[in-house]
Amino acid sequence: MRRSASLLQVLLVFITMVATQWSSVSSTYCKDMASSVYRPHSVTITEFGAVGDGVTLNTKAFQNAIFYLNSFADKGGAQLFVPAGRWLTGSFSLISHLTLSLDKDAEIIGSPDSSNWPAIDPLPSYGRGRELPGKRHQSLIFGSNLTDVIITGANGTIDGQGAIWWDWFYNNTLNYTRPHLVELMYSTDVVISNLTFKNSPYWNIHPVYCSQVLVQHVTILAPLNSPNTAGINPDSSTNVCIDHCYVRNGDDVIVIKSGWDEYGISFARPSTNISISNITGETRGGAGIAFGSEMSGGISEVRAEGLRIVNSMHGIRIKTAPGRGGYVKNVYISDVTMDNVSMAIRITGNFGEHPDDKYDRNALPMISNITIKNLVGVNVGVAGILEGIEGDNFSSICLSNVSLSVQSMHPWNCSLIQGYSNSVIPESCEQLRTDCGQTPICYDGGSSSAIHAQEPRHRLWSATRLLNPLLKSATL
């Protein structure tokens, strides 16, 4: 009865929150990107000798088809259609003005032979994620310096068959960095939609140094114990929209990055103008939404709304360390539900791995203007651990309308941070007890010129949709 009463108390608070109409905002660049474009030229992969039996290696067929379609790039672009079947392949590269389209019963599957994922040199700004100096394996689907690229379908599947890579990782027998499932670099006008991604050897979707990126209606699946299988990883990219996705994996559901230590600082390519909405995620080893720890090029102007995080280690997490430099600022997260999450909010100032010993220990990151609003959680272990860095207090951390049913007797642990709070249950830590309702300092998510107001009713629909699963659990 105590648990049911607690659940109902939390839900009543949340109902009160969503009954208050306040304007929603959304990035204009999200509306400008189309998930489908008419291509006047189309071929099917079977026209190039591909066999969809799950055994025949079709790398050459994919490469030859795309080489052929390149002649239509300046004639309205082209489409490569993958019909029903299991199409085994090694790495292949895309071209500009291309749509890669999968039938609903089509599966592109990555070869278990690592020689079919060629080793390539890292970028000059290496240190993206956990990439170390030296060679790295090319991603299964790869592209660089492209424009107008669409990877889509009728919910077909791209399967990296990552189990063998995970074994090599755990056995310390890897010579190079593991490949991503899809990686696009230095590209613009990218759409990834209506597909299922499975069993990536490493990260799943990795746009790096890109702009105008839409990831929409995507499902990402990997075992909960799979290493580093983060879902969607915008990295040093701008104008990114992630919407209506489901992710269940072994690492962060969505994680934003921008370079590692001195390499990210010198390259100075930030991640900015990022819109995230309507995401459901489950992860045993990561967070529902994370920032860093590689954030040395800077992360700013991020708005995330309509997040449902279940059965996970962390809900919201910022990771950084001395030596990172850079910043995470102007982040607005709202309309979040959590169920069975070990720690709702975590800010870590000592997430300490470095690519080498050349980093500047005096390069301290700036963490500021972080607003978390309209958050409800049940079956939460700890409300939050928020830890800054000595001599580098993290500032303007603002919590508003946060209601958590917490199991721990010590729900908050805060040090070296400064901020504000309003309507937080259980009561926030002392460092945040100045009322954010009485100060204009808290970031309201509206400072970016690329953001505009939407109809309030969308806010109410989104909140109600997220509330329904918790109402159901309260009545059990």
Q: Which residues are catalytic?
A: 251
How many helices (H) and strands (E) in the chain?
6, 29
In this structure, are residues 366 and 409 in contact, taking their beta carbons and an 8 Å threshold? no
Helix residue ranges, H only, 242-398 = 261-267
Output the CA–CA distances (angstroms, integers) from residue 408 to 129, 146, 380, 383, 398, in the order listed.
Answer: 32, 50, 8, 8, 22
For residue 31, give the nearest of 192, 214, 254 by alpha carbon: 214
- Cis amide bond preceding 40, omega within 30: no
Helix, strand or coil, per DSSP, at residue 471: helix
DSSP letter, residue 352: -
Contact indicator for 298, 326 with CB cutoff of 8 Å:
yes
Give the sign of the dihedral formed by CA 282, CA 283, CA 284, CA 289: negative
Q: Is 436 helix (H, G, I), strand (E, B) or coil?
A: helix
Beta bridge partners of 334: 305, 373
Q: Is the link from the previous residue into 293 a cis peptide, with omega within 30 of 0?
A: yes
Radius of gyration for the chain, computed over Cα atoms and rounded to the nearest angstrom: 22
Question: Using an 8 Å Cβ cutoff, are 203 and 180 in contact?
Answer: yes
Report which of 296, 254, 287, 249 is spatially closest to residue 128, judged by C-alpha positions.
Answer: 296
Classify residue 284 as exposed, middle or buried by CB count within 10 Å of its CB (0-12, 13-18, 19+): middle
Show the DSSP H helices in 334-476 as ranges: 456-474
* Euclidean distance between CA atoms 50 and 361, whole angstroms: 53
- Angle, CA 412 vertex, CA 408 and CA 417 arms, to 5°: 165
* DSSP codes joined into one string, 161-174: -THHHHHHHHTT--
Contact indicator for 345, 386 with CB cutoff of 8 Å: yes
Residue keyed to tokens 């791995």: 353
Quote the tokens at residue 32: 């400008």
